[in-house]
């Protein structure tokens, strides 16, 4: 395997890596509750997937502080 004759500078290596980016996650609206969710995933708000109820989501109970 060939080896480089001279060392590349840090800037040269960083210029090469400028296109190594993580793409942003595409979000879609849930057809039932209109909340944003990942495509092809169960909605975490209403628990539906592909027009049918898959999960039962329990509502959070609020704690009241009594003085």
H-helix or E-strand spanning residue 10: helix 10-16
The domain in which residue 37 lies consists of 26-59
Domain contains 39: yes
Specify if 46 maps to a domain.
yes
Q: How many domains does one find in the chain?
A: 1
- Map tokens 């001279």 to a residue: 6
pLDDT tens, residue by residue, 13-61: 999 999 999 888 899 999 999 999 999 999 999 999 998 899 888 877 7
Nearest to 32 by CA among 11, 48, 16: 48
Q: What is the pTM of this model?
A: 0.55
Query: Rounded to an integer, what distance in angstroms lies between the CA atom of residue 17 and that of residue 65?
Result: 53
Nearest to 32 by CA among 10, 55, 58, 12: 55
Is there a domain that residue 20 lies in?
no
In a domain, 41, yes or no: yes
């Amino acid at each position: 395997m060939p080896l480089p004759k001279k060392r590349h500078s840090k800037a040269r290596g960083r210029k090469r890596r400028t296109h190594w980016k993580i793409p942003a996650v595409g979000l879609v609206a849930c057809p039932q509750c209109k909340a944003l969710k990942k495509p092809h995933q169960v909605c975490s708000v209403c628990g539906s997937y592909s027009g049918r109820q898959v999960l039962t989501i329990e509502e959070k109970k609020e704690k009241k502080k009594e003085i």
